[in-house]
């Protein structure tokens, strides 16, 4: 548990980078996908299975954890790593995104966001300083600044107001974080769909003393081409020596496109949420196990998967479990999806190292699109 | 997958027996507790974890499986073992108990039970012959005769009617089972709370060519002393060379009492259902993790448990997971409970072998009753 936080790029392929984030809790191989452990659990998975699937780090949600079980309680119990039995790196978001999407009666001003809990109606105030304090109490390895994330589309004026507020909160967040050896704090680029705002935000955030830079406010309703265009706009302004994190993204296709544009880190509920709803991500695209066509299919999802759950159970069985509302169905599909995402990231890293990312992406897309007709 | 079905008693201690049921799918060490795999899954557990917990066999429910996914479908897919990825022994009930407790608009006569599915209202007829056919299609290792189980208390006349019908169905079930090498069919003793009826039923069932004898219609609402008194009444009439199975039982206390009276096999939803509702079974008795007193407790459920889930997670964390409705809470507590039940059975078997069952039971009861005050 000693050592510094550091990032190094080991190889590049076009704009894509393969590298390593070192933390006292272990290494995060990049490009990395971090499964989301919302309320101190990657839903429906044992932590040892998250690790076995290949995940180097997970994400925790400040909004959920501050409300239940409470940051002070987690600190008292020894911190989030010990609490959730995950001794490896944890990144925490700032709480800002979910305050805006989940809480009731929120009121945002310069100071922060006052809101009522969606669980019990209790009143809370989330400021940049309080968010940093919560993340410190949790013992997070990578803290995120508090920002304001607007839904897209929105007016340029609204995007600008939120972007400027986020910059002021970035400064307050950075100051509140202080100096915590071995831990990092990341700034977040905002600016909606406006190239000019995105560039201004990127330059300003990059000029602050953050250990990494995140792109926020994307994958919030806009088409993929808008997201990718914003990434292309922002990337040249994010220093190469720091890790770049695209928050809340995304589908396998979003990921390969963003990696190709220089993104190093991702998180998303997609693999876990989809799994709980009967959707599997595989090399051959997305499979909806609730579909009646699987009822009599003895084939597993992927005979060649490194994930035993994808090999050892028939589609007919997975279909049955989902139709019957059985927890095991959610457990198996979550595991299959988290494993596929990690398999994808491993493939991406190897492809970058070998200078064949373009081919890798083309092949992956072809397999997804072809589905299983060719199998 | 060759070999005969056999049972041998290896040692006795008072009325209690330690032994082995051998099947082509593997050995069931007795006294045995079989977790319930209702709809082709021990709820919220991976099959490999059920095995790792020490279970030699599981139970499948004909009622659930005939309705969804359907016995013919399971047969087409290679049978229940392959379907649910459990290559070890499976005992199936006859469907009778759940037809009476779950289905709609049921009509029982000499032929069988006509009923409507609780899932989709579809109409079905369950006869002794159809139940045997379903169990054969599933590929069950131990089939149960179709019987009629009445709720207690009930009138003696009603108990007698159901007992006599069950005897006639026993004969039809036995005939329909025929000769299936490596597989077994068990008869079921009924008779409500009447000693005379129980004795008559036991003698009649024992006189038929069943591979094992079950006691049914207990643990259906009556006090424990009634159940134990019925067991004491029935036991002398059940041949020693065949395994004796107490259906649907029960709590750890029920189990040690029934073992002491000569029972070899148990099944019950208690450990799995309780786990999904936040109740843990431990050496120190039952613990309700939903109770607020656990919110700040860093202690695990049992530091000395052979089950990692009981050692590696704090009560505070388990409490949090249950309060937050997290699937992982159900997964961990189910695993802890299934493991504790298997640990109990292993302790019982060793105690019988060493001729110290009375001491073992006294100590277990003392620990349960003392709870954790002495820890």
Tell me the C-alpha distance between B317 and B300, whole Å: 9
pLDDT tens column, B102-139: 877 789 999 999 999 999 999 999 999 999 999 999 99
DSSP state of A237: G
Point out the catalytic residue in the list B141, B147, B264, B267.
B267
Question: Checking phi first, is residue B178 left (phi over 0); if not, alpha (psi -120 to 50) or beta?
Answer: left
The answer, for A290 touching chain B at a CB cutoff of 8 Å, is no
Whether residues A328 and B83 touch (CB distance < 8 A) is answered with: no
Residues of B with Cβ-Cβ distance to A322 under 8 angstroms: none
> DSSP states of B225-252 as a string?
HHHHHHHHHHGGGS-TTS-EEETT---H
Q: Taking the CB of residue A122, how many other CB atoms lie within 10 A of it?
A: 10
A374 has pLDDT over 50: no
pLDDT class of A58 with cuts at 50, 70, 90:
very high
Instruction: Identify the residue among A331, A332, A333 best suited for mutation to test binding to B, counting B beta carbons within 10 A and taking the highest.
Output: A331
**Mean pLDDT along residues A143-156:** 92
The answer, for A52 touching chain B at a CB cutoff of 8 Å, is no
pLDDT tens column, B270-326: 999 999 999 999 999 999 999 999 999 999 999 999 999 999 999 999 999 999 999
Length of chain B as a residue count: 375
Whether residues B296 and A327 touch (CB distance < 8 A) is answered with: no
pLDDT tens column, A161-201: 999 999 999 999 999 999 999 999 999 999 999 999 999 99
Point out the catalytic residue in the list A49, A56, A93, A147.
A93
Please report the pLDDT score of residue B373 as a whole number: 47
A93 is a catalytic site residue: yes
A1 has pLDDT over 60: no
Tell me the C-alpha distance between B88 and B19, whole Å: 18
- Among residues A98, A128, A104, A125, the alpha carbon closest in space to that of A116 is found at A104
B267 is a catalytic site residue: yes
Mean pLDDT of chain B: 96
Residue of chain B whose Cα is closest to the Cα of A76: B296
pLDDT tens column, B80-95: 999 999 999 999 999 9
pLDDT tens column, A3-28: 799 999 999 999 999 999 999 999 99
Whether residues A295 and B40 touch (CB distance < 8 A) is answered with: no
pLDDT class of A373 with cuts at 50, 70, 90:
very low
Please report the pLDDT score of residue A3 as a whole number: 78
Percent of chain A with pLDDT over 70: 98
**Three-state DSSP state, B79:** coil
Please report the pLDDT score of residue B2 as a whole number: 61
Mean pLDDT, contiguous 10-residue spans, chain B (375 residues): 86 98 98 98 98 98 97 98 98 92 86 94 96 98 95 91 97 98 98 97 98 95 94 98 97 98 98 98 97 98 96 98 98 98 98 98 96 55
Please report the pLDDT score of residue A218 as a whole number: 94
Whether residues A327 and B323 touch (CB distance < 8 A) is answered with: no
The answer, for A340 touching chain B at a CB cutoff of 8 Å, is no
Please report the pLDDT score of residue A375 as a whole number: 39
- Contacting residues for B325 by C-beta, under 8 A, at least 6 apart: none
- Among residues A141, A136, A150, A33, the alpha carbon closest in space to that of A99 is found at A150
Residues of B with Cβ-Cβ distance to A316 under 8 angstroms: 69, 73, 77, 83
- Among residues A152, A153, A124, the alpha carbon closest in space to that of A66 is found at A124
Residues of A with Cβ-Cβ distance to B68 under 8 angstroms: 320, 323-324
Whether residues B44 and A331 touch (CB distance < 8 A) is answered with: yes
Copy the structure tokens of residue A104: 């009731």
């Amino acid at each position: 548990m000693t050592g510094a936080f550091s990032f190094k790029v080991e190889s590049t392929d076009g704009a894509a980078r393969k590298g390593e984030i070192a933390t006292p809790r272990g290494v995060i191989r990049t490009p990395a996908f971090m499964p989301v452990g919302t309320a101190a659990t990657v839903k429906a998975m044992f932590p040892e299975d998250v690790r076995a699937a290949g995940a180097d780090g997970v994400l925790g949600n400040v909004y959920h954890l501050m409300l239940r079980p409470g940051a002070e309680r987690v600190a008292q119990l020894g911190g989030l790593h010990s609490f959730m039995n995950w001794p490896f790196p944890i990144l925490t978001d700032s709480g800002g995104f979910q305050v805006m999407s989940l809480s009731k009666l929120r009121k945002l001003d310069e100071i922060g966001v006052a809101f009522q809990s969606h669980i019990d109606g209790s009143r809370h105030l989330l400021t940049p300083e309080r968010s940093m304090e919560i993340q410190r109490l949790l013992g997070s390895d990578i803290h995120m600044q508090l920002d304001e994330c607007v839904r897209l589309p929105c007016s340029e004026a609204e995007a600008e107001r939120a972007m400027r507020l986020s910059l002021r909160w970035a400064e307050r967040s950075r100051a509140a974080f202080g100096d915590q050896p071995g831990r990092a704090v990341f700034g977040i680029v905002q600016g909606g769909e406006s190239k000019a705002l995105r560039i201004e935000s990127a330059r300003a955030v990059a000029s602050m003393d953050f250990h990494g830079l995140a792109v926020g406010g994307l994958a919030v309703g806009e088409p993929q081409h808008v997201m990718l265009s914003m990434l292309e706009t922002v990337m040249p302004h994010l220093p190469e020596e720091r890790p770049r994190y695209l928050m809340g993204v995304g589908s396998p296709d979003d990921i390969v496109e963003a990696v190709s544009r220089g993104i190093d880190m991702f998180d998303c509920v997609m693999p876990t949420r989809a799994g709980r709803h009967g959707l599997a991500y595989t090399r051959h695209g997305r499979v909806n196990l609730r579909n009646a066509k699987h009822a009599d299919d003895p084939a597993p999802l992927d005979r060649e998967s490194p994930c035993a759950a994808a090999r050892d159970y028939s589609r007919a069985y997975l279909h049955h479990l989902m139709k019957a509302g059985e927890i095991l169905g959610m457990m198996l599909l979550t595991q299959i999806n988290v494993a596929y995402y990690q398999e994808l990231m491993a493939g991406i890293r190897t492809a970058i190292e070998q200078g064949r990312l373009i081919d890798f992406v083309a092949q992956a897309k072809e397999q997804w699109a072809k589905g299983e007709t060719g199998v």
